[in-house]
Structure 1
Amino acid sequence: MKFGKELTSQMVPEWQEAYMNYNYLKTILKEISSFQKQKKSRHSTPPYFSPRKEKFSKRKSLYRAFSGLTNRHGNYNDKDKDIEVISVSEIEEHEYKNYQTTFLRSPEEGVENELTFFRLLDDEFNKVNNFYREKVEEVVLEAEELNKQMDAFVALRVKINDPHFCSSSLNNTPRPSNSGASMLAEIQEVEEKPERDQKMVSLTILNNVKINVVPQSATSTLKTLIDGTKLDLSFSKGELRNAQVKLKQAFVEFHRKLRLLKSYSFLNQLAFSKIMKKYDKTTSRNASKAYLEMVENSYLGQSDEVIKLMTRVEAVFIKHFANANRRRGMRDLRPKAKREKHRVTFFVGCFFGCSIALVFAVILTVHARGLLKSEGRDQYMTNIFPLYSLFAYIVLHMLMYAGNVYYWKRYRVNYSFIFGFNQNTELGYKEILLLSSALSVLTLAAVLSNLEMEMDKRTQSFQALTELVPLGLVIVILSIMFCPFNIIYRSNRFFLIVYLWHCVCAPLYKVAFPDFFLGDQLTSQVQLFRTLEFYVCYYGWGDFKRRTNTCNQSDIYKTLFIFVAVVPYWFRFLQCLRQVCESKDYGQGMNGLKYLSTIVAVITRTIYVQRRGMTMRIVAATSSGIATIYNTYWDMVKDWGLLCKDSKNPWLRDRLILPNKSVYFVAMVLNVILRLAWMQTVLDFHEAPWLHRSMVIFVVACLEIIRRGIWNFFRLENEHLNNVGKFRAFKSVPLPFSYEDGDKQL
């Protein structure tokens, strides 16, 4: 792999603009090389051609190459190596030192390109050097903050584990305030002392400390609303355990930040070395030595704060959070990248092949039995088809998500950081395809086993076993979903369950990106929730053996039919209210109004379908039109960040990930078209000669899922680019302790 591609593959995606622009500098060197070739061709005269002379010259050049009489590049002699080509000087600008290169050769034709090269090279180096300095200063301050947190944690542990320890016997000598590196060094010194000396850590710090209560559950949120945001230390083991969990997460994230900073320094130094060697080779000069000496002596090359901090963080973490087990501690600090398994690819192909075979089997069975012309066709489409459509919605949504993951990874959208996935357990697109294809095989096999249109004339009913197949499949899926054993991606299942619970309990949980992203997914699965309601009615109150139901005749069912459609939008509305109250983000208030308008549109459309009437038709059309315009505007402008008039890319945005701009315009047009699917309700397009009403509902629901899948990609792209613009590559971990007299954290 060429270095340019390797550099791109190893970049921190959110810091991409802070790296040295290797490819651009490489294009300038190519321009210099092409100019020199043209210059040589202009000044050289065609020699007299002689095969004997050519053979002799080749032999002579070969001899020189083997005898060592020629240098590596062949265009400058040993004396030229000692002639200085450039000089690099320091310039004080603001608080940082910048570097400027002076070209020492006499002006000649073509030197302008080389001057441009060094000017851009200096700009790139100053950018990299200053960015690295800023990030190192940030981690030093963060290290000092973590050190204070560890002081409080060690004191709390001593207080709880040894409550009879007399605090009056402690050494209360205040320690000097130093940098983060030295502060962590003090922790290391404390932990290396004997147990009695560890207790000499001042416990008086606990008198000025309070526990940070971050609402992580519905009950803790309610307590916080009643008692305030901070609580006094009660010196309980629960507080110690919670503090240990939070500090462990903080140390893991801090160590990851240090690793990425170390990688950033190494990759950029290697990039400058590579580009200078290419310059020497292209121009036959010897400028790399002087420039690389400057790089080595700069802050980027000389700073060792990151390495020292890594060593001390590892020592503290192993001692306090890994029970002095280095292997376990380093495994937590440096999780290994997940390896792709060939058996996953094999089973994906196997399940998709089986799915295609089952689709053909269903088609052939329908054609051979003439089921489309059967008298029981309407009965089947009304009662059985909606039951199986539930699984089709799930499979389609998973397929769209698998496609999103594939393209996010291809275009380096850091979706795992945005969602907060665990590096060791996150699902790739192949694993998602495996689950979706396995579910499709089960569903199609169930459809094939239950593909009967005629009931038994003797019993006037269908076989109970086959009629219970859809319900059995639902029970199997729910059993797998809530299975406590470590099988079938347990961590991912629990991750989904946790954030589903957050949506259900909105607004009692702090709203993170996965919360409202999942809430938006639920708003596109309204028909799935209505199908679940139909399951309860059909198997609970209907005569499923005769494939009949009276659901639509029940007022309770009709009321719940509206309620279950409104619930996902209500969850999102409550999440928006939580964000407005918590972060004072009044833009989320406008977002909440968007969901309220959608709730009104859903209610009026459903009432129109149930009761009809011209008045309700006008009300449903008006409310749906307003909601569609509002939602479409929010999708494109707020969620996707597009339709910017003054951007570098007209009507798009300044930063784009996809190379083809037309894709964005196609996505916007598709979003508008697919959002207009509600018109089939208002225009009474419920049934066509070739489509049953249940099939029309199914198609419209699938179109909404496809629209949501397209929305997902551009929503994550916009979020990723916002992180890139702010160089935000790490998640903030709440710390357990704070000062008593303010919100400033220890």
Structure 2
Amino acid sequence: MKTGYSPLNSAAIMPSAIFLWRFKVLLFLIWTFSCCKIGWNSVMRMSADLRDLFFYEAFLYYNPLLLVTMMVWLWGVNLWVFSQSSVNYAKIFDLDHNHLTHREIWKCATWMTIIVPSSMTAYLFLYSHGEVSLAASQPVILYAIVMMALIFPFDIFYLPSRYYLLRTLWRIMLPLQDGTDQSSTNPNSQTRQQCSPDAQAITFSDFFLADILTSTAKVFSDLERSVCRMVHRQVATIAWFEADSVCGSHSIAIPLVLVLPYTFRLFQCLRQYKDTKEKSSLLNALKYSTAIPVIFLSALKYHVFPDMWTNVYRPLWLISSVINSLYSFYWDVNCDWDLSVFSRIFKFKNPHFCSNILYGRRWVYYWAIGSNLILRCTWTYKLSAHLRHNYLTVFTITALEMLRRFQWIFFRVENEWNKMTLKPSLQVSMGEIPTEEDRLLGSNNHNV
């Protein structure tokens, strides 16, 4: 006797969502262990004098993409927190209904987490087993895949979001061009503000992404060095160790690439001043210009006599570093976050002005301000080309800068949301806000 088809029987056969999730986590852990084991054994097969040098070369090719992967994970966390609060990030960035959610961002980050370390493991394994040409092809193939994933013209792999990113990057590189991209301009993001007003031709997305790019200056620098080695066929060799070679650590291209994100942001501020005539845009431009002496004075160490560096250029570099760190810290807290560090954050007289996400928890603000100050100062270390001898230290500082930027995003985006929604309803002078004494007097008068 045949048994009829039953949906209940089918549902019983299908694995549950929790089982599938645990199975995927198990596979991920097995893959992680395998990559670590194969990579470690491959490095140990090399001679001791070659091991550290070659591992640094492998690290040079892959650490930029590892840092980008980390940034994608953190951006997903940002979006998840915003989705759990009242902050409508889609409206702030002028995103349509097809925009990527935090789940889709994490899905992209998961694939990046799998692909990049897998390519690095294959690179180490092939080189340690004598397959030099195959090893050299691994980072080249990976970079080509990443580039194709960004510019692939067909409607797969989140085409609208990819082209939104590319259009924003194009406007960042050409901020002084005339005309406004009406298709990407968010009228809600054109609110005038004291510290960084939004010009009509510069949307919030434009300068928000440009600010993030300043935190990835090290990534762009290492990408330039990696591509340079690929073009000059130096992959899987030790030619990179020559400091004064075309792609060496003393190359003039390093400070030029490091300064590019700050130059883009500087020109954005100048465009804002052209459109709005607000002097605060010039003050913001001055902030980004303070990074330029830090970068180029540091690079001079490799191109001047040691005595000249010690007596003249190093003191100038130290002074410019302090100015850049303190100026950037002040602008983060007082302007980008709108916390008014000299009054509101330490007194909390008007808690309704504080963050809605964090519900006015004081320790969060103290932590954000303190950690931002420390990491702003350590980021100066990264911008200085002559301090790059320990690549693990530089990688750690770059990762910490991305964590600082991830923290900065919470306050910056919510501040923009407050300007769009809360500030119009809070246009009340401080004298009209009742104090505790006023409430007591009112209560006594009522009782009388």
TM-score over 0.5 for the alignment? yes
Quote the residue 1:618 is aligned against: 315
Q: Secondary structure at the match of 1:552?
A: coil
Structure 1 pair 350–583 and aligned structure 2 pair: CA distance change class (3 A): farther
Structure 1 pair 568–668 and aligned structure 2 pair: CA distance change class (3 A): same
Quote the residue 1:437 is aligned against: 110
Read off the aligned partner of 2:147 and give its amino acid letter.
L
| Per-residue Cα deviation, 1:336-371 (whole angstroms, up to 9, x for no partner) | xxxxxxx99999877765554333223333555662
CA distance in 2, matches of 1:627, 1:705: 18
Structure 1 pair 366–517 and aligned structure 2 pair: CA distance change class (3 A): same
Structure 1 residue 476: Cα displacement: 0.6
| Per-residue Cα deviation, 1:276-313 (whole angstroms, up to 9, x for no partner) | xxxxxxxxxxxxxxxxxxxxxxxxxxxxxxxxxxxxxx
Q: Secondary structure at the match of 2:82?
A: helix
1:452-463 aligned at under 5 Å gives the runs: 452=125, 462-463=131-132
Are positions 1:405 and 2:85 aligned together?
no
Quote the residue 2:340 is aligned against: 643
1:309-320 aligned at under 5 Å gives the runs: none
1:664-679 aligned at under 5 Å gives the runs: 664-678=365-379
Quote the residue 1:524 is aligned against: 215
CA distance in 2, matches of 1:477, 1:383: 20
Quote the residue 2:202 is aligned against: 511
Structure 1 pair 353–470 and aligned structure 2 pair: CA distance change class (3 A): farther
Structure 1: gaps of 5 or more residues: 1-342, 688-692, 729-746
CA distance in 2, matches of 1:344, 1:583: 53
CA distance in 1, matches of 2:343, 2:285: 28
Are positions 1:427 and 2:92 aligned together?
no
Quote the residue 2:298 is aligned against: 605
RMSD: 3.0
Contact 1:570 1:595 in 2 (8 A): yes
Quote the residue 1:594 is aligned against: 287
Q: Secondary structure at the match of 2:290?
A: helix
Read off the aligned partner of 2:101 and give its amino acid letter.
G
Taking structure 1 as the reference length, the TM-score comes to: 0.47
Q: 418, 428, 433: which is aligned to 2:92?
A: 418
| Per-residue Cα deviation, 1:144-181 (whole angstroms, up to 9, x for no partner) | xxxxxxxxxxxxxxxxxxxxxxxxxxxxxxxxxxxxxx
Contact 2:172 2:206 in 1 (8 A): yes
CA distance in 1, matches of 2:268, 2:18: 38
Q: Secondary structure at the match of 1:376?
A: helix
CA distance in 2, matches of 1:644, 1:455: 55
Contact 2:211 2:265 in 1 (8 A): yes
Contact 2:379 2:401 in 1 (8 A): no
Structure 1 residue 559: Cα displacement: 1.6
Structure 1 residue 441: Cα displacement: 0.2
Are positions 1:533 and 2:224 aligned together?
yes
CA distance in 1, matches of 2:101, 2:282: 35
Quote the residue 1:721 is aligned against: 418
Q: Relative to structure 2, which stretch is displaced further, 711-720 or 605-614? A: 605-614
Quote the residue 1:712 is aligned against: 409
Structure 1 pair 465–621 and aligned structure 2 pair: CA distance change class (3 A): same
Structure 1 pair 415–694 and aligned structure 2 pair: CA distance change class (3 A): same
Structure 1 residue 484: Cα displacement: 1.1
Q: Which has the higher helix share?
A: 2
Q: 367, 385, 391: which is aligned to 2:65?
A: 391
Q: Secondary structure at the match of 2:347?
A: coil
Quote the residue 1:45 is aligned against: none
1:484-503 aligned at under 5 Å gives the runs: 484-503=153-172
CA distance in 1, matches of 2:66, 2:19: 23
Structure 1 residue 705: Cα displacement: 1.2
Structure 1 residue 616: Cα displacement: 2.5
Who wins on radius of gyration, i.e. which is larger? 1
User: Between the two proteins, what is the percent identity of the paired residues?
Assistant: 24
Contact 1:542 1:550 in 2 (8 A): no
Are positions 1:467 and 2:136 aligned together?
yes
Structure 1 residue 667: Cα displacement: 1.0
| Per-residue Cα deviation, 1:591-635 (whole angstroms, up to 9, x for no partner) | 000000012212222333676631322221111110000000000
Are positions 1:359 and 2:52 aligned together?
no
Q: Secondary structure at the match of 1:496?
A: helix
Contact 1:530 1:565 in 2 (8 A): yes
Contact 2:345 2:365 in 1 (8 A): no
Contact 2:93 2:205 in 1 (8 A): yes
Q: Secondary structure at the match of 1:450?
A: helix
Structure 1 pair 594–356 and aligned structure 2 pair: CA distance change class (3 A): farther
Contact 1:576 1:592 in 2 (8 A): yes
Contact 1:344 1:434 in 2 (8 A): no
Structure 1 pair 556–433 and aligned structure 2 pair: CA distance change class (3 A): closer
Quote the residue 1:703 is aligned against: 400
Taking structure 2 as the reference length, the TM-score comes to: 0.76
Q: Relative to structure 2, which stretch is displaced further, 708-717 or 528-537? A: 528-537
Contact 1:344 1:431 in 2 (8 A): no
Read off the aligned partner of 2:331 and give its amino acid letter.
W
The number of aligned residues is: 376
Read off the aligned partner of 2:318 and give its amino acid letter.
A
Read off the aligned partner of 1:429 and give its amino acid letter.
H
Quote the residue 1:580 is aligned against: 273
Read off the aligned partner of 1:385 and give its amino acid letter.
F
Structure 1 pair 676–645 and aligned structure 2 pair: CA distance change class (3 A): closer
CA distance in 2, matches of 1:429, 1:348: 17
